[in-house]
Every structure is written in C-alpha cells, then in structure tokens.
Amino acid sequence: MLDYMPVLAVGFAASVGLAPLTRQLAQRIGLVDKPSARKVHQMPIPLMGGLSIYLAFLLALLMFGNQPAYMNELIAIVLCASFLTFVGFWDDRRELRPRTKYASQLAVALFCVVVGLRVDLFGVWLLDAALTIFWFVGIINAVNFLDNMDGLAAGTSAISAFFLFLLSALQGQTLVSSLSAALCGALIGFLIYNFNPASMFMGDMGSLPIGFLLAVLGLKLRFATQVPAASWMIPILVLGLPIFDTTLVVFTRLREGRSPAQGGKDHSSHRLVAMGLHPRLAVLTLYAACVLLGLSALLISFAPLEAALLIGGGVGAIGLGTFIILEVVRIKQQRKLKASPGIQKG
C-alpha cells in the first residue's frame, strides 16, 4: 500500500501548485460562477478548478502510475475523462442544454461498454451493458449534482477515492490503486482552495470527469475475499452519498412537478442548513457520512455473507430513515415559504 503514496503525494502537490494558475486563467477569460437565487455564494467565484484537478491527476499517473499490463484500459479511461473535461469546460463557458450533456455521458458509457470497461454481474451481455450505462450516467450526474456547496463534491469525492484506493490496494489491484491514489491526492490538494469559504470552484469541468473516474474505479473493483452476492454492495456504499443525494433531489423535483435537471436549493446540504447547521458544518456532516459509508464497505469486503448482508441492510435502513427526515424538512420549508409572501422559493 505504501508503494502508492508517491502517486497520492504528487497528485496533491501538483494540484496545490496548479490551482492558483487555473484560477488566474479563469479570471482572465471571465470564466466565473456568478451568484444567483439557487446558489449560496454572494460573489463571483473563478471556475476551472476542474482543470487543475485533472492535470494533477494525469501528472501523478505519468510520473508514478505507469502500468504496462493495463495500458489499453488506461488509455481508454484517460480519453473518456479528457472528453468529459472538455464537455464540462464548454458547459461552464456556454451552459449546454441538459440533453447535450446527457448525450456526451451516454457516448462515454457506450464507448466503455465496447472496449470492455463494463459490469460483469449477470453474465448476459445486454443486461451487463445496460447496467454499465446506467452506472456511468448515474454516477457522473450524482457527482455533478453534489457540487452545490463549498468543498462538498471535492471533499466527498476525495473520501470516496481514498476508500476505493484502500479497497483495491488490499485486493492487489494495481491499476485501480494507482488511479484512485492519483485522484484522491489531486482532490485533497484542490480542497485547500475549495473548502468554505471557497476561492475557486471545480465547475462541470471537474465534476463530470471526477464522476466518470469514480464510476470506473467502482466498476473495476474485484474481491477475492468476498462473494458476488455481497461484493456488489461495496462500490454502491463507497459512492453512497452522491447516490443518496441525487435520488433525494430527483424524487423531490418529480414530486413537486419540476424537471430533475432544474437546479435548486433542495440538496441534502441545503436541507441540513435549513435544519440550522452552518454551511461548513453541513459539509463536514456529509463528510462524516461518507466516511461511515466507506467503513461499512470495508467491513463488507471481509465479512461473512450473512454479516455483510446485515451491514448492507442496516445501512439501507438508516438511509431510508434519513431520506424520509430530509424530505419532511423540505416539505416544511416549502410550506413556510408559501406562507411568507415575498420570499423566493429555492
């Protein structure tokens, strides 16, 4: 496991050094996130933090993460992530239509299916391909949705990447370990500039490729120490927070008769703030939840089947209870807004 520390360290150092440069570039070309009714920040914040994360990630891989045995897979992953970085930049610059973003994600997912980066759960090509596409598009959008408060997407993604690194290193998976260590280091380095109060944002230029990379890492995890009946839960738990938040938001927006693609202050973080938490404390609370989910995944990777199913069921029950509580918070919040004329809905 210590063999991968240089990968993480270079990713971190490169991200710390590159972030101020990309921030200056964003300011020079006018690529900033302006305040609006559905956003928390009150001043324009430079974007392009995603570029510093991705360049740091690549630099770490180039210097320490060379894996000749997996070169074809590595090239495919880098090509897809680079494409999504470009799509994210264009979206930050021109604000693409949701269907255009979804089409790009679908294209990446289909490419991964064709080159063999796909789920192998059912043993039926069509079913595995469909699940792969759903997984990629779902996780990419989940991370994109989670980028709604200072430090939230970067911090939770770093925690998820760390647990993916830990799990893959324990199983001797060199490619996944290298990728996850590089991503974790790059995200931690960026978090220095992105934690509340943030001096720069990653933008879609960061959230789209980060979501893709996390989806790839979760998909490629393999467990000699666990049977498939339990191991399928592990990547879902590691990425449980973005999955939970996206499910909550989509459910709420559909219930309220809105498009799931329509932005708003209805994410888990916003509801914690509505319950009285400071935004920074709300983000730290979600960090803690992400750590607990990662620890649950780690336990399941070694537990007997019965214990693994019990842990998974317990986490699911807690998640359902939290879902209900946060939905009640949203309903009460909306009722207060309706009863208070002149207050804009989030």
Gap between the Cα atoms of 205 and 316, Å rounded: 32
Any binding-site annotation on 66? no
CB 139 within 8 A of CB 214: yes
Name the residue with tokens 């498939």.
228
CB 108 within 8 A of CB 74: no
Radius of gyration, CA atoms only, the chain: 19
Q: How far is CA 154 from the centre of its chain?
A: 8
Any binding-site annotation on 196? no
CB 157 within 8 A of CB 151: no
CB 45 within 8 A of CB 201: yes
Q: Facing residues of 33 across strands?
A: 45
Binding residues: 144, 204
Binding residues for Mg(2+): 144, 204
